Structure 1
Amino acid sequence: MAIHPQAGQLAPHTSLVNLPELMTAYYLKKPRVMTHPDECVSFGTSGHRGSALLASFNEDHILAITQAIAEYRLAQHISGPLYLGKDTHALSEAAFQTALSVFTANGVRVRTQLNGGFTPTPVISHAVLTHNNKTQTDLSDGIVITPSHNPPEDGGIKYNSIKGGPADKDITDWVAKRANALLKGNLHGVKRFSIEEIEESGLVEPFDYINHYVNDLENVIDMQAIANAKIRIGVDPMGGAGIHYWKPIAKKYGLDITVVNSEVDPTFRFVPLDKDGRIRMDCSSPYSMQGLLKLKNDFDIAVGNDPDYDRHGIVCAQSGLMNPNAYLAVAIEYLAQYRAQWPKDIQFGKTLVSSGMIDRVVNGLGRRLCEVPVGFKWYVEGMFEGSMAFGGEESAGASFLRKDGTVWTTDKDGFIMALLAAEILAVTGKDPQTLYEAQVAKYGQPFYKRIDVAATSAQKSLLGALDANNVTQTELAGETIVSVLTHAPGNGAAIGGLKVSTENGWFAARPSGTENVYKIYLESFISEEHLAKLEEEAKALVNKVLDN
């Protein structure tokens, strides 16, 4: 994909999302579920996402999804409060109010941010887990209304189970099936309250998410080390849900934190255009992060996060924005060495499409690696029970255990990954990029690439059905193929695609669970030329499947 000529620049006013048009579409457009599959409810790796303008995320969707979740809770005897959060996308506020109307009408207690405001994804996970740690009979779950880093016109909703993290496929399949049945039945069976009935119900419980989360951070991050080292931290919230958390963090722990942009605007006009010329609040993109990168020399460590704070972007003063895979490798090595209370046989998790550098680092430490399919839901069980120390995704999302080896969150946490970068610098005296360069010197230089290609639903289905029989050759880019995977070695779960590896390279192909694209991931430990050869042969294989 060619880089857009305006990538890294602010969007012209004329290209910003038309908020009145978007909100009108949310309430008036109706999904044509009988004839348009793309307008049905579909849970990908991070919930149901879409745009009101395309009739793929509208009030009818939220009415159906939340009614289905209310029925699921009842069937599973989940009687505790539901922790409900929202990010700063325009559609999130509307969907939040729709969700409140359905849950209260179904008799569900709902905990929302005290005095209104936004609630990040990891904060919901943390709240669910700390609540359920204290009870066996009043279990809670959570919902975050967010499309993560998606463009301003998008909306999203994801359901977190009683274990705090993304609900597993069995649950989301049931919810999606029931929601689509409600949509096909013109929403007969959906209960909802008016604004007055919501207020009179007494079921909405204000909750101080900010202090509940902030006051517990010292149990997962060495905040004292950061304070003692006087690390200067720059933060760009990117207009996201964590905007009101950084000042309380700085005040409680005595940290030197500067929020470089405190603006919230649902058009996200202050976020530079991504590589394709669209506004996308992707803190792993050097184009979207241009605002913070220009200020990198003002701080020892600078960090950015996406709107719901389940992703992190780490900016080092000398080198700029770190590659997400590189930071995962450094974080794992540091935590393995500086979390003395963690069991030595504990697992470190990576997705199949994350860098092979992680494999080499974990093996070099003599630790256990667990390789899973794409989606943070695959880490939930291990982190919940304390057998998985760290779970990371190549898309700049990760979380890890408390210092004592117990669960912190079972969803991605951009706060702790950002603060960990400051801890690493404070404790080692070296920033994460410097430590990564030492890993490269020891384990080799990886060349990594991801390609997104537009795809229809039918094409995505074909790619999701790839198997070992699609690979007939014995060599890939001049090396002998050593493995062809359709299931993850860490847990035996289906990849929903294919991964082919040699000694010094690999590629994986899979359809996106949240966008109309398919993705090819490639990595070489030899050279850029070898990476190009991998790309050529991977594309040929995928095209062969699509042509059949």
Structure 2
Amino acid sequence: MDVGATLVVSGDGRYFSKDAVQIIIKMSAANGVRRVWVGQNGLLSTPAVSAVIRERVGADGSKATGAFILTASHNPGGPNEDFGIKYNMENGGPAPEALTDKIFENTKTIKEYLIADELREVDISKIGVTNFSGPDGPFDVEVFDSASDYVKLMRSIFDFELIRKLLSSPKFTFCYDALHGVAGAYANRIFVEELGAQQSSLLNCTPKEDFGGGHPDPNLTYAKELVERMGLGKSNSGVEPPEFGAAADGDADR
């Protein structure tokens, strides 16, 4: 990592993510990184991380060099479940296999590492900048709103007003299930606040470290509540199902 770099660190909110954020912050400070950007509560979807790398500009004109994404994708989370790390490059895309292979090979020979244990932990629940004096000079950690950059990008791609008209039509109903993954951090902001949808259209949109004890894989087996709501389950409530249903995996990249 280049000295003076800006890194993004966040993920899908699974168990151990908050601990990992603090560890990566301290290791970044010890290795000459200039600043670390963290999504509020350590939450950023994988697509949102790409948007932050490409679009976000710091107050001093800084741009992100890359990002650590704390996720194991659609695999379950919890003390006895899965944890993983992805690395995205300066272009916002995932690191190529040639690079990740080199990183893996290096892990076999590591004999020591640098970490600034003396740094106090950063409160990642509060938006703001925390300034430190690192081993190589000033070191900052900025906690920012997880959704703003992503919403801005979505507005540039999709016609929000046209979608709002669709969602306001009594002839159209939908249901979105975040499976307690990081997509929940965006669902209320985009569907309810930006597009005027009803809160009742959202399922499991509170991110949880163990995904509510479920498996955040958006298929007919694990998205059980959505399947039932769409009238595809074994039980039949007699209620007219929504016109459209969708779900996201843990890190919301599908």
Normalised by the shorter chain, which TM-score bucket? 0.7 to 0.9
* Superposition pairs of residues 410-425 of structure 1, within 5 angstroms: none
Which of 243, 248, 254 is equivalent to 1:305?
248
* Superposition pairs of residues 51-450 of structure 1, within 5 angstroms: 73-74=1-2, 79-108=4-33, 109-114=35-40, 116-131=41-56, 138-152=63-77, 153-182=81-110, 185=111, 188-196=112-120, 201=132, 202-230=139-167, 231-250=172-191, 251-256=193-198, 258-271=201-214, 280-283=215-218, 285-296=219-230, 297-311=240-254
Aligned AA (2:187)? W
Is the 1:88–1:239 contact (alpha carbons within 8 Å) kept by the matching residues of 2?
no
In structure 2, C-alpha distance between the alignment counterparts of 1:256 and 1:105, rounded to whole Å: 47
Aligned AA (1:254)? G
When normalised by structure 2's length, the TM-score is 0.76
- The residue matched to 2:29 in structure 1 has which SS? helix
In structure 1, C-alpha distance between the alignment counterparts of 2:210 and 2:145, rounded to whole Å: 27
Distance 1:179 1:203, change over 3 A: farther
In structure 1, C-alpha distance between the alignment counterparts of 2:212 and 2:55, rounded to whole Å: 36
Instruction: Name 1:453's counterpart in structure 2.
Output: none
Q: Which has the higher helix share?
A: 1
In structure 2, C-alpha distance between the alignment counterparts of 1:304 and 1:197, rounded to whole Å: 34
**CA drift at 1:117:** 4.3
**CA drift at 1:155:** 0.3
Which is higher, the Rg of structure 1 or of structure 2? 1
Distance 1:138 1:308, change over 3 A: closer
Q: Which structure 1 residue ranges, 4+ long, deviate > 4 Å from structure 2?
A: 135-139, 197-200
**CA drift at 1:242:** 2.0
Is the 1:131–1:140 contact (alpha carbons within 8 Å) kept by the matching residues of 2?
no
- The residue matched to 1:244 in structure 2 has which SS? helix
**CA drift at 1:282:** 0.9
Superposed CA deviations along residues 19-40 of structure 1, whole A, max 9, x for unmatched, are: xxxxxxxxxxxxxxxxxxxxxx
- The residue matched to 2:83 in structure 1 has which SS? strand
**CA drift at 1:88:** 2.4
Is the 1:239–1:268 contact (alpha carbons within 8 Å) kept by the matching residues of 2?
yes
In structure 2, C-alpha distance between the alignment counterparts of 1:266 and 1:292, rounded to whole Å: 20
Aligned AA (1:189)? Y
Is the 1:104–1:204 contact (alpha carbons within 8 Å) kept by the matching residues of 2?
no
Is the 2:216–2:249 contact (alpha carbons within 8 Å) kept by the matching residues of 1?
yes
**CA drift at 1:178:** 2.3
**CA drift at 1:241:** 1.1
Aligned AA (1:113)? G
Aligned AA (1:119)? L
In structure 1, list runs of 5 or more residues that go unmatched. Answer: 1-72, 272-279, 312-548
Superposed CA deviations along residues 327-382 of structure 1, whole A, max 9, x for unmatched, are: xxxxxxxxxxxxxxxxxxxxxxxxxxxxxxxxxxxxxxxxxxxxxxxxxxxxxxxx
Superposed CA deviations along residues 133-157 of structure 1, whole A, max 9, x for unmatched, are: xx99855211100001112211000
Q: Which has the higher contact order (CA 8 A, sep 6+)?
A: 2
- The residue matched to 1:203 in structure 2 has which SS? strand
Paired residues, what number?
220
Aligned AA (2:38)? T
In structure 2, C-alpha distance between the alignment counterparts of 1:167 and 1:131, rounded to whole Å: 19
TM-align CA RMSD = 2.6
Instruction: Name 2:136's counterpart in structure 1.
Output: none
Is the 2:6–2:36 contact (alpha carbons within 8 Å) kept by the matching residues of 1?
yes
Superposed CA deviations along residues 366-420 of structure 1, whole A, max 9, x for unmatched, are: xxxxxxxxxxxxxxxxxxxxxxxxxxxxxxxxxxxxxxxxxxxxxxxxxxxxxxx
